[in-house]
Amino acid sequence: MLRINNIKLPIDHQDEDIKKEIAKKLNISSKEIQEVRIIKRSIDARKKNDMIYFVYNVDFKVEDEDKLKNNSLVMISPEKEYILPAQGEELLTTRPIIIGSGPSGLFAGLILAEAGFEPIILERGKAVEERKKDVNLFWKKGVLNIESNVQFGEGGAGTFSDGKLNTLIKDKNNRIRKMLEEFVKAGAPEEILYVNKPHIGTDKLEIAVKNIRKKIISLGGSVLFESKVTDIIIKNGKVKGVVVNGNEKIYSDVIILAIGHSARDTFELLFNKGITIKQKPFSIGVRIEHLKELIDKSQYGKFYNHPRLKAADYKLSHRAKNGRAVYTFCMCPGGYVVASASEENMVVTNGMSEFARDNVNSNSAILVSVEPSDYPSNHPLAGVEFQRNFEKKAYAISNSYYAPVQLFGDFLRNKKSVKFKAVKPSYKPGTIFYDINNIYPEYITDALKEGILAMGKKLRGFSSYDSLLTGVETRSSSPVRIERNENYESISTEGLYPIGEGAGYAGGITSSAVDGIRVAESIIKRYKKGW
C-alpha cells in the first residue's frame, strides 16, 4: 500500500471524492486506484463561516506502484502489524496475577493471555452488567456501593466515561493500534481506527470491556469479580502471592498492580507493606458546563448543526499569575457531569457521554495544578488526604451526594447563585447552590477565575455569566507514584509490577492500556511458562 496525506475535501463530499482527489493530486486516473483505506480523518474548521473540511491521510493501492515511486506526495505505507514478543528463558511456575481490570489491567491481561500465560485478573468491583445497576442506584437515589461504583468494577474508571482515546504518547510499537483494533473487535465503533480524536462512549465501552473479558477467558485466563486484594504476601523482598477478601490466598511470583488512582485503601496497604510510594503533583478544580449548542456554534460557526459533525470539543489552557497551570481536561461534548465518589460521605465529579454525544450540555473539567508542597504533610499519602479534605467539604454542604453548583458570574463575585439560567445541571442525584470560593483555597479559586476569563477570549461564550460550575473535581490523576525500575518492577519489591494511572505512569484510557501492554511484553520476554 502507498500513503498520501492531506487530502482535503469539503464537509459534504461523497466517499468517491477521496479517490478522485488522490488521482487529481497525483495526476493519474481514479480508475487506477484499486483500494482506499482511511488512516486518519481530522476536521479543519479554521474558516468555519466559509467552509469546514475533512482532512484525510489515506493508504491506497495501484497496480503499478513504480510509477509513483518518485512522487514526493507519496510514500510506502508505514502501517505495521502489532507483534507479540516470544517467551523468555526464566521459568515462571505460577500464573501471573493482575490486580484490577481497568484499561491497564485488562490490556496487560489480554497480552499475557495471547502469549499463553493464563493470567488471573482480580477485580474488587462487579462485572459490568451488575456494576451498572449499582452506579444507576447511586446516581438516582444517592446510595453508594463502596466496592461497585464509577471508579471500581469491570473496565475500571473508564467504563462510565466519554471513552476518549486520544493521547499525546507516541506509538512506535503499534500498541495504540493494537488497543484500538481489540476495542473494535470487541464491539467499539470502527471509526475509532481513523478519526483524529477517537471516542467510544460509555454505551459501547460496556460492551467492549465485557467482550475483552470473554476473550481473555477463552485464551485460558480467569477474571474474578468481587475479589478485592486485601494483602500482598512478600518474602525476602519478593512477592509470593495475594490474599483475597481477607481469607483466600493465591500464590504467584508475578503480580501486576493495576489498581487505578482511587484505591486509597490499597495504597495504604502498599505503604504499610513497605512498598515504595512517593508523592506526586496532580490537579484539582471543578466541572464547567455550557449548552452544547453554544460550544458547537463557537467551534463550527454556521455549520454547527451539520449532520456530519458530532458535538464539538475544545482544549484550552492558561498560565495564571500565581504560576499555576489552568487547563481543561477530559472534555465531554454532549455529555453529563457524573457523581464519581468511591468513599462514603464525599462528593467527586467527573464527566461522561454516550457514543452519540447528544446531550443538551457539553462539559469539561477545569483544573489547576497542585504540588506536594500544597499537601498537609510529607507523608507519601498526603495527596490523598488533600483530595479527601475537599471531597468531604463538598459533601458536608448538604450532608448528601448533592454537588455544589454556582454560575460562573456569581463565582467571580463570591456570591451564592440563586437560580439557574440557560444551563441546567446534568449532575445526579442532585445539586445545591453554594459559593465554591468557600471550598477551595484562594490559589485555586483565583487561578480558576483568571483561567476561565482568559479561555473566554479564545472560545466565545466560555466565560459567560451562566456557565455552570459543579464541584469538586479532585481525581484528575493519581496523587502518588509507586516507584518502579527500568524493568517496570517496584524498586522495593521484586515481582511486583505497578502499572497504569494509579501507579503514576499513565493518565487516561489509552496511555494506561499502552502501559499495561508494555509491561506485559516485558514479562513475556523475561519468562517462559512453566506450569
Q: Which is nearer to ligand FAD, 262 or 369 (CB)?
A: 262
Burial class of residue 183 in the structure, from the number of CB atoms within 10 Å of its CB (0-12 exposed, 13-18 middle, 19+ buried): buried
The residue (of 163 and 425) whose beta carbon lies closer to ligand FAD is 163
HEC-encoded secondary structure of 275-308:
CCEEECCEEEEEEEEEEHHHHHHHHHHHHCCCCC
| 355 or 411: CB nearest ligand FAD | 355
Which residues are CB-neighbours of 218 under 8 A, at least 6 positions away?
Answer: none
Kindly report the number of other CB atoms within 10 A of residue 178's CB atom.
22
Quote the least distance from Cβ 248 to ligand FAD, whole Å.
12
Q: Which three cell numbers stand for residue 351?
A: 464527566
We find the least distance from the C-beta atom of residue 202 to ligand FAD, in angstroms, to be: 8
β-bridge pairing 2-10 and 53-62: antiparallel
Nearer to ligand FAD, 163 or 495 (CB): 163
Q: Which is nearer to ligand FAD, 94 or 230 (CB)?
A: 230
Alpha helices in 306-429 (DSSP H): 382-396, 408-412
Please identify, using beta-carbon distances, which residue of 125 and 334 lies nearer to ligand FAD: 125
- Smallest gap from Cβ 400 to ligand FAD, in A, equals 20
What is the distance between the alpha carbons of residues 49 and 517, in angstroms, rounded to a whole number?
43
Distances (CA, A) of 428 to 132, 239, 334, 343, 396: 15, 42, 16, 17, 17
What is each CA distance from 410 to 294, 328, 465, 491, 530, in whole angstroms?
Answer: 20, 20, 7, 49, 65
Least distance to ligand FAD, CB of residue 197, Å: 10
Compare residues 152 and 408 and give the one whose CB is closer to ligand FAD: 152
In whole angstroms, the minimum distance from the beta carbon of 17 to ligand FAD comes to: 32
Nearest-5° Cα angle at 51, 47 to 53: 90
The two beta strands, 120-122 and 97-99, are parallel
H/E segment holding residue 257:
strand 255-257
How many other C-beta atoms are found inside a 10 Å radius of the C-beta of residue 223? 23
DSSP bridge partners of 4: 58, 74
Closest to ligand FAD by CB, 153 vs 241, is 153
The x, y and z cell numbers of residue 520, run together, are: 506485559
**Side chain identity at residue 392, one-letter code:** K
Where do runs of H (alpha helix) occur along 115-263?
A: 128-141, 175-185, 202-218
**Pick from 508, 448, 471: nearest CA to 346:** 471
CB of 155 to ligand FAD, least distance (A): 7
Question: From the CB of 107, what's the least distance to ligand FAD, in Å?
Answer: 8
CB nearer to ligand FAD: give 22 or 338: 338
Contact of 112 with 96, CB cutoff 8 Å: yes
Judged by CB, which is closer to ligand FAD: 148, or 279? 148
CB of 348 to ligand FAD, least distance (A): 8
Interaction site with ligand FAD (CB under 6 A): 99-105, 122-125, 150-153, 156-158, 160-164, 228-229, 258-260, 263, 266, 330, 338, 340, 350-352, 500-502, 506-510, 512
Sequence-ordered list of residues with C-beta below 8 angstroms from that of 132, at least 6 positions apart, any chain: 206
Compute the least distance from the CB of residue 247 to ligand FAD, in Å: 14
Nearest approach, Cβ of residue 125 and ligand FAD (Å): 4
Least distance in Å: CB of 335 to ligand FAD?
Answer: 9
With respect to ligand FAD, which residue has the nearer C-beta, 405 or 407?
405
- Of the two residues 22 and 157, which places its CB atom closer to ligand FAD in the complex? 157
| Least distance CB 490 / ligand FAD (angstroms) | 15
- Which cell is 394 given? 463538598
